[in-house]
Amino acid sequence: MSVLNISAYKFIALHDIQILRESLLAQSLGLQLKGTVLLAQEGINLFLAGPAPAVRDFVAQLQQDPRFADLAPKESWSATQPFKKLLVKVKREIIRMDHPAIRPAQGRAPAVSPDMLKRWLDAGMDDEGRPVVLLDTRNGFEVDEGTFEGAIDWRLSKFSDFPQALLAHRDQLQGKTVVSFCTGGIRCEKAAIFMREHDLPNTYQLDGGILRYFEETGGEHYRGNCFVFDERRTVDAQLDPQPTSPA
């Protein structure tokens, strides 16, 4: 497989979005990359693919900006380019939740590493003996391709439905350790902050999402594949492209 795929995001206050957009667009075009870069006042979210030297050159240039020096993209490989074109867009939010008071750049919710989550799932409880509940913050059609064993699925049709769903089911989560998860971390980070602000103090986000969990643990306790928003459609626990489930 010769095409390197990367995904990364960072919540950080950006005040030069249009200038940054023009710069990243020029860099991406110059390196012949395809994919999507989203920019908003709350940060950056990107999915790009191309030859490995070009992709890593883009990342190195981006990391020269002190705001993105610690950006750590997740990598996977494919035999062909999974994106048809390049988009660098300015949005109101890099992941839409419609709750502007939720600002991860002002402080993240605590995160649990893939290794720690696997240890909790092996034991059936967290380090303090509380039951662990996994909450899938993805859309229903993504969950249908695969999810963690026993994970809660509220059949969301879009992420902006999450706040209302949480308020309707909050009592079911009281007294438990809740780990929110998603594909790469961006949705479950916002979700964890929202839950902590609504009286669920033992809430964590899965750091790096499912993709990092696959990368660091091999996918134990996960069943099926992980949906990705490009022409690969799904990847398995080895991050190899897989056919989707029959409709």
Give the model confidence (pLDDT) of 192-212 as tens digits.
999 998 999 999 999 999 999
Task: Tell me the average pLDDT across 161-182.
Answer: 96
**Active-site residue, from 95, 178, 182, 193:** 182
Q: What is the pLDDT of residues 96-139, one digit of tens each?
A: 888 765 666 666 789 999 999 999 999 999 999 999 999 999 99
Per the annotation, the verdict on 182 as an active-site residue is yes
Q: Name, in order, each residue with C-beta under 8 angstroms of 238's C-beta and a sequence gap of 6 or more.
A: 214, 218, 219
Q: 215 versus 103: which is more confidently predicted?
A: 215
CA-angle at 215, arms to 159 and 157, nearest 5°: 15
Q: Which two tokens stand for residue 193?
A: 């902050």
203, 109 in Cβ contact below 8 A? yes
The CATH number corresponding to 104-242 among 3.40.50.720, 3.40.250.10, 3.40.50.150, 3.30.70.20 equals: 3.40.250.10
Domain boundaries, the chain: 3-90, 104-242
The proportion of the chain whose per-residue pLDDT surpasses 90, expressed as a percent, equals 89
Residue 33 has pLDDT above 90, yes or no: yes
Q: Across the chain, what does the average pLDDT equal?
A: 93
* 3-90 matches 104-242 in fold: no
Q: Name, in order, each residue with C-beta under 8 angstroms of 165's C-beta and a sequence gap of 6 or more.
A: 154, 156
Starting at the edge strand that comes first in sequence, how are the strands of the sheet with 203-206 ordered? 111-112, 203-206, 177-181, 132-136, 152-153
CATH of domain 3-90: 3.30.70.100
Q: Which two tokens stand for residue 162?
A: 């999450």
CA–CA separation, 83 vs 133, rounded Å?
A: 35
